[in-house]
């Protein structure tokens, strides 16, 4: 075959016809969809209540909550879409709904009218049906139409090109609105609490899978990746994804607070710090950490440090209740940490008592709120966040730790390279707290027994 003929053949294979006959043919002979989304989402009634509360906070003001846009990953491919959490909170839409959508609350005499502006799916006789790689059905599958979104959410819908021209999406949501939403999200409703229960349960099952794969992790040149892949695969199977990048830190890597490179080996005798959470389809995520001996048995020195971290966590549990603050929870844990590391002779005498030199080995906070974001409600004012009063319906973490870096000459040699964190997800109830992750063992003996049960 000549070069000329070969080039013509390639052109015929790679260039899409653009004439009327092809357009007519590709747009015809299609069955009607049999998967129309006509059921109201379980989240819709709760989202309506949230919009009503937000409306009351901003009478007479237009409120705009964009979902956000797709982000390019590599030239002509995009990252999997994840919407703004404020958009998800106010619409009840999770998962990958819906790129470029905008929720607008227009003020009225009686509050606000909500409209959800969306990119309509291309009809079969529209070129975008097969030419648009971001929204065309040939490329990304069938998308719900405007009427379907209205049925699912209970919100009036309109095409995105009808969005009022005076709306500047870069300026929304306004700072005051964002702060108000963050403070609204501090207390979870019953639907949100159930989403978090589901996320925690799926996370516990993921930890069990990891234990089963530890022999393979030990044998692999990058065993931390085996741990990460095991949990992350589980998260995709049982939920939407992981709620944050999994920390699979073995040995001295566990002394790095946010170790997500996960390229290290997993050795018999190491401790494995696994900090991971499943994000369910609604986008609510768990955040759990366990530090476990890779071979199933804590060494005496590992157990000594582990028991101090557990004692600190238990002290935090003891003061966590309605009416307390996250600051008080943190201080209870740090009192234990201070007492023990001081007794070990590691803390020099400070010139200023505010220096709190023992914080060298636990520089992070003990708690953060949890929900649609792993560090939820971060835009709330300090007086309602870290210094705010714990109320029933709040969900937060308790996660003390000790981290002795391998090159830390301020600690005894036997402790160097040991990093331990224990993290649980806590629901504030009317008369106390509930540990949502209680099914995952915390005491050293119970951890060893649990590992023996699940190790393959």
Residues 318 and 97: their CA atoms lie apart, in Å, by 41
Give the pLDDT confidence score for residue 134 in this predicted structure.
86
Question: Around 241, how many Cα atoms within 13 Å sit in the side-chain half-sphere?
Answer: 15
β-bridge pairing 433-435 and 424-428: antiparallel
Instruction: Going residue by residue through the chain, which has 456 residues, state the pLDDT in tens, using 9 for 90 and above.
Output: 444 444 444 444 457 888 899 999 999 999 988 878 789 999 999 999 999 999 999 999 999 999 999 999 988 899 999 999 999 999 999 987 899 999 999 999 999 999 999 999 988 888 899 998 888 898 988 889 999 999 999 999 999 999 999 999 988 888 999 999 999 999 999 999 999 999 999 999 999 999 999 999 999 999 999 999 999 999 999 999 999 999 999 999 999 999 999 999 999 999 999 999 999 999 999 999 999 999 999 999 999 999 999 999 999 999 999 999 999 999 999 999 999 999 999 999 988 988 999 999 999 999 999 999 999 999 999 888 888 899 999 999 999 999 999 999 999 999 999 999 999 999 999 999 999 999 999 999 999 999 999 988
Residues 386 and 182: their CA atoms lie apart, in Å, by 13
The residues, any chain, with a CB within 8 Å of residue 179's CB and separated by 6 or more, are 379, 380, 381
Give the pLDDT confidence score for residue 199 in this predicted structure.
98
Give the pLDDT confidence score for residue 384 in this predicted structure.
87
Give the pLDDT confidence score for residue 172 in this predicted structure.
81
**Domains, the chain, ordered by start:** 13-183 (3.40.350.10), 185-454 (3.90.230.10)
Give the pLDDT confidence score for residue 14 in this predicted structure.
54
Residues 393 and 426: their CA atoms lie apart, in Å, by 10
Give the pLDDT confidence score for residue 11 in this predicted structure.
47
Q: Quick check: 54 and 160 in contact, CB under 8 A?
A: no
3-class SS of residue 159 = strand
CA distances from 4 to 12, 182, 200, 285 (A): 12, 64, 62, 57
Q: What angle do CA 47, 50, 54 make, to 5 degrees?
A: 140
Residues 64 and 91: their CA atoms lie apart, in Å, by 12
């Amino acid at each position: 075959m000549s070069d000329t003929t070969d080039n013509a053949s390639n052109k015929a294979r790679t260039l899409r016809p653009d004439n009327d006959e092809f357009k007519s043919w590709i747009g015809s002979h299609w069955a009607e969809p049999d998967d129309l989304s006509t059921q109201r989402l379980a989240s819709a009634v709760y989202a309506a209540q949230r919009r009503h509360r937000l409306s009351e906070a901003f009478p007479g003001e237009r409120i705009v909550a964009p979902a956000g846009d797709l982000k390019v990953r590599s030239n002509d491919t995009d990252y999997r879409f994840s919407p703004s959490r404020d958009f998800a909170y106010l619409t009840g839409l999770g998962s990958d709904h819906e790129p470029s959508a905008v929720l607008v609350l227009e003020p009225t005499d009686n509050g606000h009218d909500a409209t959800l502006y969306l990119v309509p799916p291309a009809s079969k006789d529209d070129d975008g049906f097969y030419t648009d790689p971001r929204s065309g059905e040939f490329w990304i599958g069938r998308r719900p139409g405007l009427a379907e979104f209205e049925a699912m959410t209970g919100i009036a819908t309109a095409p995105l090109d009808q969005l009022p021209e005076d709306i500047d999406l870069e300026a929304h949501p306004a700072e005051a609105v964002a702060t108000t939403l963050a403070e609204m999200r501090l207390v979870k409703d019953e639907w949100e609490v159930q989403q978090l229960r589901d996320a925690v349960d799926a996370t516990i099952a993921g930890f069990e899978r990891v234990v089963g794969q530890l022999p393979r992790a030990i044998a692999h040149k990058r065993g931390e990746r085996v741990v990460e892949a095991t949990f992350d695969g589980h998260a995709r199977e049982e939920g939407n994804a992981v709620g944050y990048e999994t920390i699979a830190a073995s040995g001295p890597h566990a002394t790095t607070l946010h170790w997500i490179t996960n390229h290290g080996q997993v050795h018999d005798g190491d401790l494995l710090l696994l900090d991971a959470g499943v994000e369910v389809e609604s986008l609510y995520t768990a955040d759990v950490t366990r530090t476990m001996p890779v071979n199933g048995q804590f060494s005496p020195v590992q157990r000594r440090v582990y028991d101090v971290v557990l004692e600190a966590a238990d002290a935090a549990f003891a003061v966590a209740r309605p009416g307390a603050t996250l600051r008080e929870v943190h201080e209870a844990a740090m009192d234990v940490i201070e007492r023990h590391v001081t007794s070990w002779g590691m803390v020099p005498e400070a010139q200023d008592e505010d220096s709190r030199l023992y914080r060298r080995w636990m520089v992070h906070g003990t708690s953060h709120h949890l929900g649609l974001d792993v560090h939820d409600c971060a835009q709330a004012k300090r007086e309602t966040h870290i210094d705010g009063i714990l109320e029933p319906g709040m969900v937060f973490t308790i996660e003390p730790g000790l981290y002795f870096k391998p090159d830390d000459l301020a600690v005894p040699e036997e402790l160097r390279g040991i990093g331990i964190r224990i993290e649980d997800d806590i629901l504030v109830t009317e008369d106390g707290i509930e540990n949502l992750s209680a099914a995952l063992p915390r005491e050293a003996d119970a951890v060893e027994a649990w590992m023996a049960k699940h190790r393959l």
